C-alpha cells in the first residue's frame, strides 16, 4: 500500500497490511517481555499470562472456549493439522473424506497426500457460481466417511457456501466437519456455537494481524493427533515455542475486527457493488464470476471475453493498481484456476479473469480510479488480442 494518491491496492485476499494498532500491541513482546511460556520463572509466567489472555480473546472472536484453540503457523498448517491429524487419529472408524471442488489449494494437496496414504477422497462438484449443493454432499456420505471439509467461502470467486445446511447434514452422523474460514473471517461474524463445525482453520493476517500465525479450533471431544512433534506445547497438539508477539497481534486484530466489522463490511459492500455495477455496465462482454448475492462483501471477480487476465494485471500494474488473477497461492503456475474450471468455465475463459478484493483501507477513490481506467485497458488489449 503506497502513500501516493495514484497507488491503488485491491488485492486484500493475497495479503493485508498489519493494522498499526496491532503493531503497537505487539511491540512490547519482542524485547521487553520476551519470555517463554514453558519457563518456570517470572519472565516465563508473564509470557504464559499473555498467551492465555490472547487465546481467550481469539476464542471469543469465534464463540469458542479458550481450550478449543491451538496456535499454528498459519492457515496451511491449520488445514494440515485438521485433516491429517483427524484422519490419522480416526482411521479405524473409516477412511473416506469428502471435500469440494473449490477448496483452497492446500486442502486439495492435503487430500492428495491422504489419498496416497490409503484414504479415499470424494470431491463434491459445485454449480456455476461455485456453490456446493448440500443434497449432493449428503448423497456421497457412506459408512466409511469420517470427515467433511468445506471452505466457508471461496477466497477466489467469493461465493459463500450454505454452511448451516451443511452443518445440519453432518451433525446427526458420526462424521466431523472441518471448515477453512480464512476467506470469511473479519468479513462475516463467526460463531461455532451457532454454526457447529468440529474443526475450523483461521489465520492472523486475514484480520490484519501478522503473517505466519494461525489457529485451529478443535471442538471439545474431537480427537486428533499432532503433525508436529516436539516439546509438547499447545496440549501436545502443536509443539514448538509459542510465537508470543504474533499471538498478541492476532488477539488484538481479532478484538479490533469484532468491534469494526459491521461498519467495515457495510462500507466494503457499498464499494464492491459500485465496482461490479460500473464494470458490468461500462465494459462490453464482461461477466461476474461467483454468486451474485451469496458473495463475500469484499470480492469482485470478473471474466472478460477475448483477453488474458495476466495482460490486464500488467496493464493495471503500469498504472500502479494492484489486482489479481485469482488465488496468490497458485498465481505462479500456468494452470487455470481449479475453482473457475469447477464452476464450468473453459480454460480460455478462466484465463480471462480478474479479481479485486477490498479491505479495511480501501477508499472510494480506488474504485473510481479502476472504473476510470479499466474500459480503456480492455479496449486496447482486445484490439491486439489473438483470442478475438
Ligand atoms: N486457506 C485460504 C482460504 C486462504 O486464502 C489461504 C491463503 N491466504 C490459506 C488457506 C493459506 O494461508 P497461509 O498461507 O497463511 O498458510
Q: Is 167 a catalytic residue?
A: no
Are 146 and 95 spatial neighbours (Cβ–Cβ below 8 Å)?
Answer: yes
Q: How many angstroms separate the alpha carbon of residue 40 from the centre of ligand 1?
A: 35
- Ligand 1: which of 81, 105, 110, 182 to mutate, judged by most atoms within 8 Å of the beta carbon? 182
Please name the residue that has the C-alpha cell 480503456.
376
Q: Read off the C-alpha cell for 70.
A: 491451538
Q: How many angstroms separate the alpha carbon of residue 12 from the centre of ligand 1?
A: 12
pLDDT band at 36 (very low <50, low <70, confident <90, very high): very high
pTM exceeds cut of 0.75:
yes
Please name each of the domains of the chain with its CATH number.
8-15+260-384 (3.90.1150.10), 21-256 (3.40.640.10)
Burial class (CB in 10 A: 0-12, 13-18, 19+), 99: buried
The answer to whether residue 4 scores a pLDDT higher than 60 is no
Q: How many angstroms separate the alpha carbon of residue 218 from the centre of ligand 1?
A: 18
From 56, 121, 329, 341, active-site residue: 329
CA distance 270 to 325: 22
Are 180 and 152 spatial neighbours (Cβ–Cβ below 8 Å)?
Answer: yes
Q: What is the pLDDT of residue 336?
A: 87
- The stretch 218-234 carries a mean pLDDT of 97
Length of the chain: 388
Distances 95 to 83, 84, 141, 201 between C-alpha atoms, Å: 12, 12, 12, 22
The answer to whether residue 200 scores a pLDDT higher than 70 is yes
User: Positive or negative CA dihedral for 264, 52, 77, 149?
Assistant: negative
Strands (E) across 95-159 are located at 96-100, 120-124, 145-149
Q: What is the DSSP string of 41-98?
A: SHHHHHHHHHHHHHHHHHHHHTT--GGGEEEESSHHHHHHIIIIIHHHHTTTT--EEE
The answer to whether residue 255 scores a pLDDT higher than 80 is yes
Ligand 1 binding residues, C-beta < 6 A: 74-76, 104, 106, 151, 155, 180, 182-183, 203, 214, 329
- The stretch 96-118 carries a mean pLDDT of 98
Q: What is the pLDDT of residue 327?
A: 56
Q: How many CA atoms lie within 13 A of 349 on its CB side?
A: 16
Q: Which residue, judged by its Cα, is nearest atom 4 of ligand 1?
A: 182
Q: How many CA atoms lie within 13 A of 148 on its CB side?
A: 26
Q: What is the pLDDT of residue 2?
A: 46
Q: Which residue, judged by its Cα, is nearest atom 9 of ligand 1?
A: 75
Q: How many angstroms separate the alpha carbon of residue 213 from the centre of ligand 1?
A: 11
3-class SS at 28?
A: helix
Backbone φ and ψ for 310, nearest 5 degrees, come out as -60, -40
Amino acid at each position: 500500500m503506497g502513500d501516493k494518491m495514484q497507488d491503488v491496492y485491491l488485492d486484500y485476499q493475497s495479503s493485508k497490511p498489519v493494522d498499526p494498532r496491532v503493531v503497537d500491541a505487539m511491540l512490547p513482546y519482542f524485547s521487553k517481555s520476551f519470555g517463554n511460556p514453558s519457563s518456570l520463572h517470572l519472565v516465563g509466567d508473564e509470557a504464559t499470562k499473555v498467551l492465555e489472555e490472547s487465546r481467550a480473546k481469539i476464542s471469543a472472536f469465534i464463540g469458542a472456549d479458550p481450550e478449543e484453540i491451538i496456535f499454528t503457523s498459519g492457515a496451511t498448517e491449520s488445514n494440515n493439522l485438521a485433516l491429517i491429524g483427524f484422519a490419522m487419529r480416526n482411521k479405524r472408524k473409516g477412511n473416506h473424506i469428502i471435500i469440494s471442488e473449490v477448496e483452497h489449494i492446500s486442502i486439495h494437496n492435503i487430500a492428495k497426500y491422504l489419498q496416497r496414504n490409503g484414504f479415499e477422497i470424494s470431491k463434491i462438484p459445485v454449480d456455476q457460481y461455485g456453490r456446493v449443493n448440500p443434497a449432493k454432499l449428503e448423497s456421497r456420505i457412506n459408512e466409511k466417511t469420517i470427515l467433511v471439509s468445506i471452505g466457508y467461502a471461496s477466497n477466489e470467486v467469493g461465493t459463500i457456501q450454505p454452511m448451516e445446511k451443511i452443518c445440519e447434514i453432518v451433525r446427526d452422523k458420526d462424521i466431523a466437519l472441518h471448515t477453512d474460514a480464512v476467506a470469511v473471517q473479519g468479513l462475516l461474524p463467526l460463531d461455532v456455537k451457532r454454526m457447529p463445525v468440529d474443526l475450523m482453520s483461521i489465520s492472523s493476517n486475514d484480520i490484519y494481524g501478522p503473517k505466519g500465525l494461525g489457529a485451529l479450533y478443535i471442538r471439545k471431544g474431537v480427537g486428533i493427533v499432532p503433525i508436529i512433534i516436539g516439546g509438547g506445547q499447545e496440549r501436545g497438539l502443536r509443539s514448538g515455542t509459542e510465537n508470543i508477539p504474533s499471538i498478541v497481534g492476532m488477539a488484538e486484530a481479532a478484538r479490533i475486527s469484532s468491534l469494526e466489522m459491521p461498519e467495515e463490511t457495510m462500507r466494503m459492500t457499498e464499494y464492491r457493488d459500485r465496482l461490479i455495477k460500473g464494470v458490468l455496465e461500462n465494459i462490453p462482454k464482461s461477466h461476474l464470476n461467483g454468486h451474485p448475492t451469496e458473495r463475500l462483501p469484499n470480492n469482485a471477480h470478473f471474466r472478460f471475453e477475448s483477453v488474458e487476465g495476466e495482460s490486464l494485471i500488467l496493464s493495471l500494474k503500469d498504472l500502479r493498481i494492484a489486482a489479481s488473477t485469482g488465488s496468490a497461492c497458485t498465481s505462479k503456475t500456468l494452470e487455470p484456476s481449479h475453482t473457475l474450471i469447477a464452476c464450468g468455465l473453459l480454460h480460455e475463459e478462466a484465463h480471462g479473469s480478474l479479481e479485486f478484493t477490498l479491505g479495511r483501507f480501501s477508499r472510494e477513490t480506488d474504485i473510481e480510479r479502476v472504473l476510470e481506467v479499466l474500459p480503456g485497458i480492455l479496449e486496447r488489449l482486445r484490439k491486439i488480442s489473438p483470442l478475438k
